[in-house]
Structure 1
Amino acid sequence: MKKVAWVTDSSAVLDEELKNHPHVYVLPVHLIINGQAFLDGIHLTTEDIARSMDNGETLSSSQPSVGDFKELYDRLAEEYDMIFSIHLSSALSGTYSSSVQAGKMVDIPVFSVDSSYLSYPLTLLLKRAIKLWDHFHEPEIVIQSIHAIKSKLKVFVWIGSLQQLHKSGRLSASKYLLGSLMKIKPIVTFEEGKLEIKTKVRTWKQATEKIESYLEESLASGEIEELFLLYGRDQSQTTEWVDMVKAKSADKVSTYPLGTALVLHAGTGTVGIGWLEK
């Protein structure tokens, strides 16, 4: 049986299962504060980023380089027979492209996969890929199945800070000004890997009502296999949505941090919800 290494980037939010997995490796995203570079999860945590935001510091991020990937892949080639490398959406970052390029430079098969997501949805896909490999031991089946699972994921994120989205370069000045003047915060979703505005709301109550309607729509069309909530700074941010979800469905609800990369761009007040349809 071939020995497989699993690689992702730090935009994923690893649960205890993956943190303790002996064959999972994480390449850190580069976080930049006032021009100084740090490695996500090594030099900085989400709370460090939150404090920097509170202090008004300038923050941005950059992807792991092709060289970072090649160095890791060369090292893994000494121990493994092949590598699956699953990363955040190629529409949001060049990380997937760096993996593809590095994969062509090393003497080990590298199967790079664009997850079309980040944060826990990326983690979910990584976990499913590992289980699929354990069952089928066929790279093509794993990749095809992951793309099929992607189409069943529904993820909605209520943006906590238009200011942070603007400062990080993900929102134009005109849209930021208009949104700020009208006190609008969008709910965004993922469409073909891109963040697209689903709707615009002014209050938390309106956001909750919209999310509830999206959940009801999915429940009406079929069963939900897994449901999760995402928080920026504190798990208590999800309490109201947890109660709403439990009132709609008896399924277990899991909560996870958004992760440093998403908090950096969207702010600590950001809250997300997602589910995998059967």
Structure 2
Amino acid sequence: MSQIVILTDSTAYLPTTYCEENNVHVAPLSVIFDGDAYREGFDISVPEFYAKIQTGSLPTTSQPNIGDLADAFERLPAGTDIIGITLSSGISGTYQALHTINMMVDHVQVHPVDSRISCMPQAFLVKEAVRMRDAGATATEIVARLEDLKGMIRAYFVVDDLEHLQRGGRLSMTQAVVGSFLKIKPVLHFVDGKIVPFEKIRTFKRAVKRIEEMMEDTIHNEGAGYVIGVIHAEDDAKARAEIEVLEQRFPKAQIEMSVFGPVIGTHLGPGAIGITWYKAD
């Protein structure tokens, strides 16, 4: 059986210890402030990033370096299967970059998997790939399972400040100004791999409550067998308060916490919160 290497990009925001212990390779994306590139998770921490944007600086973002990835793949043994789980192709070229590398490197087989999302839902896919690899599954079996699992994961998020979505091209200037004036906090989600509004709701608290209502409609048996994730933008207290609410509503669920790191935080801004869930087999 060929060796299976699991690769993801930094927007899965998996803990370094998890990646080291489970042999998960991470390709960093970068944020660029005033011409200087910082690889998230390597050159800039989450707190450092949010401290910089609080001063008014807003970076651009860039995908992993194709040459660096190709060089790393060249050093792998012949016949290696690389399962590359990327953030959505609708907001980044990372997925397409893996297809390009697959044509550049002959002795290994790259299996790009477009998560069609990012952050914790992407991490869910990585963890499932690790579980299956360690259980002896083939690369083909793992990829097929991940494609099925993508359709089972639900994820919604709310931003505190519409300016970041507007500056990132997700909202028009008029939408952002009117929305801010009316205290609109849109519930957002991914459709066809892109961030789009799901519902427009007044006040942040009501928007989060709307997500909780959707969870109650879809999660059964007090959450038994479900995995729930709460994602925050450098606001640990807000995330922990939400986890306490969810623990009361779904006491049998497995609830985890993660962050919106620099690349995704560029689009969502400080104060954002996301909630994601799926029924694990």
Q: TM-score, normalised by structure 2?
A: 0.91
**How far apart are residue 17 of structure 1 and its match?**
5.6
TM-superposition CA deviations, 1:101-148 (whole Å, max 9, x none): 111111211111111121111111011012122334322211111111
Select 2:274's aligned residue among 269, 272, 275.
Answer: 272
1:203 paired residue number? 203
Structure 1 pair 159–199 and aligned structure 2 pair: CA distance change class (3 A): same
Name the aligned partner's letter for residue 139 of structure 2: P
Alignment of 1:11-160 (within 5 A): 11-15=11-15, 18-21=18-21, 23-75=23-75, 77-78=76-77, 81-106=80-105, 107-160=107-160
In structure 1, stretches of 5+ residues that fail to align are none
Alpha-carbon distance in structure 2 between the residues aligned to 1:203 and 1:175: 16
Alpha-carbon distance in structure 2 between the residues aligned to 1:179 and 1:246: 32
Structure 1 pair 79–21 and aligned structure 2 pair: CA distance change class (3 A): farther
1:231 paired residue number? 232
**How far apart are residue 78 of structure 1 and its match?**
4.3
Contact 2:185 2:204 in 1 (8 A): no
Alignment of 1:174-193 (within 5 A): 174-193=174-193
Contact 1:49 1:264 in 2 (8 A): no
Contact 1:187 1:201 in 2 (8 A): yes
Structure 1 pair 192–58 and aligned structure 2 pair: CA distance change class (3 A): closer
Range that drifts further, 245-254 or 163-172: 163-172
2:161 paired residue number? 161
Alpha-carbon distance in structure 2 between the residues aligned to 1:42 and 1:63: 14
2:265 paired residue number? 263
Structure 1 pair 140–160 and aligned structure 2 pair: CA distance change class (3 A): same
**How far apart are residue 220 of structure 1 and its match?**
4.8
Contact 2:40 2:261 in 1 (8 A): no
Q: Which runs of 4+ in 1 moved over 3 A?
A: 220-224
Structure 1 pair 52–147 and aligned structure 2 pair: CA distance change class (3 A): same
Alpha-carbon distance in structure 2 between the residues aligned to 1:217 and 1:146: 24
Contact 2:83 2:143 in 1 (8 A): no
Alpha-carbon distance in structure 2 between the residues aligned to 1:223 and 1:191: 27
**How far apart are residue 258 of structure 1 and its match?**
2.0
Contact 1:212 1:244 in 2 (8 A): no
**How far apart are residue 170 of structure 1 and its match?**
3.1
**How far apart are residue 273 of structure 1 and its match?**
0.7
Range that drifts further, 117-126 or 236-245: 236-245
**What is the root-mean-square deviation of aligned Cα atoms in Å?**
2.1
SS in 2 for 1:269: coil
1:219 paired residue number? 219
**How far apart are residue 223 of structure 1 and its match?**
5.7
**How far apart are residue 263 of structure 1 and its match?**
1.2
SS in 2 for 1:91: coil
